[in-house]
A and B are shown apart, each in its own frame.
Chain A
Amino acid sequence: MSGLPHAPFHILLVEDDPADAGLAKRAIREGRILCDVHHAVDGVEALAYLRREGAHHAHARRPDLILLDLNMPRMDGRGVLAEVKKDPDLRGIPVVVLTTSDVQQDIEAIYQLGANSFVTKPLDLQDFFSVISGLENYWFNIVKLPK
């Protein structure tokens, strides 16, 4: 599905764990809403993609939604969030933090940094798929996204 040039929605998935990323991509693709996913393996790559830096990001599509892991090497999710939310060109893009953490302190800090929502990844596979489908339905069917 990612090969389709005109999927109506585009998601940037920022996740360092290959298994978690694979699962998220599968869940997104199995959803009823057609969207393509670009996967960045850490914060540095995510920002390069968003800012279209480097030859292979020159034609990067602006994502409608960013799904952002918190703990990653090189630059973590907090760093990405801080950069995105202070950049006038990127700030409008909704960022959903998707992490295994459910520490209340993390949650407060992440909203303070300007995250649009904080979602704790359920460990149960079925719950995880239903969370992803809930995300897709909310952001792509109910919400009006910035253009």
Chain B
Amino acid sequence: MREPTKTEDAAFEILLVEDDPADAGLAKRALKDGKIFCRVSHVRDGVEALAFLMREGSFADAPRPDLVLLDLNMPRLDGRGVLEAMKGNDELKSIPVVILTTSDVDRDVNASYLLGANSFITKPMDMDAFFEAIRSVEEYWFRVVRLPR
């Protein structure tokens, strides 16, 4: 990993919501391998994600994420539930949410956009393509786009 070129305060905060430990580990590695310095917090389902975002319980000191990477299929509360809760909440709705899932079913894609997802990405099965996709996500959201802060 490259040395961070920005101060701690300038780092980007990512909230990764993913129930599968292997997938989460891979995503974290890909995010950390990128050229852009970002901190990743990982939660394992939608209930934990909302607690993190609303700074409840053990998440009292959680940072406000610049970007949420959200899996769709998870136990307890799935990605659709998180998306709906976030986009219906004035405090949270401006945080960009990128759906990152193995699904490429049109129904899932369309429903996610209708619920207010900022974009939808089908995780490539191929490892190189997966790393490339994560790099592009970082590049786009942290270099091209202006984020609400």
Which A residues have a C-beta under 8 Å from some C-beta of B? 88, 91-94, 102, 104, 107-108, 111-112, 114, 116-120, 131, 134-135, 137-139, 141-147
CB pair A120 B146 closer than 8 Å:
yes
B11 at the interface (CB under 8 A from A): no
Which B residues are CB-close (under 8 A) to A112?
90, 93-94
Which A residues are CB-close (under 8 A) to B149?
104, 107
Some 28 contacts from A to B, beta carbons below 8 A apart, are: A88-B114, A91-B114, A92-B113, A92-B114, A93-B113, A94-B113, A94-B119, A107-B146, A111-B93, A111-B95, A111-B96, A112-B94, A117-B118, A117-B119, A118-B145, A118-B148, A120-B146, A134-B139, A137-B136, A138-B136, A138-B144, A142-B136, A144-B109, A144-B121, A144-B122, A145-B120, A146-B109, A146-B120
17 additional contacts (CB under 8 A) given A144-B104, A144-B120: A92-B113, A93-B113, A102-B146, A108-B148, A111-B94, A117-B144, A119-B144, A119-B145, A134-B139, A135-B144, A137-B136, A137-B140, A142-B121, A142-B136, A143-B119, A146-B109, A146-B120
**Nearest residue, chain B, Cβ from A103:** B146
B116 at the interface (CB under 8 A from A): yes
Which B residues have a C-beta under 8 Å from some C-beta of A? 90, 93-96, 104, 106, 109-110, 113-114, 116, 118-122, 133, 136-137, 139-141, 143-149
Which A residues are CB-close (under 8 A) to B116?
114
B149 nearest CB across to chain A (Å): 7
B136 partner, pick from A92, A108, A141, beta carbons under 8 A: A141
A131-B144, A134-B140 known; A116+B110 contact, CB < 8 A = no
CB pair A111 B136 closer than 8 Å:
no
Task: Tell me the complex Cα distance, A42–B104, Å.
Answer: 35
Which A residues are CB-close (under 8 A) to B93?
111-112
B119 nearest CB across to chain A (Å): 5
CB pair A108 B94 closer than 8 Å:
yes
Which A residues are CB-close (under 8 A) to B147?
107, 118
Q: Closest 10 A-B residue pairs measured CB to CB?
A: A111-B94, A92-B113, A138-B140, A134-B144, A108-B148, A146-B113, A142-B136, A117-B145, A143-B119, A146-B110
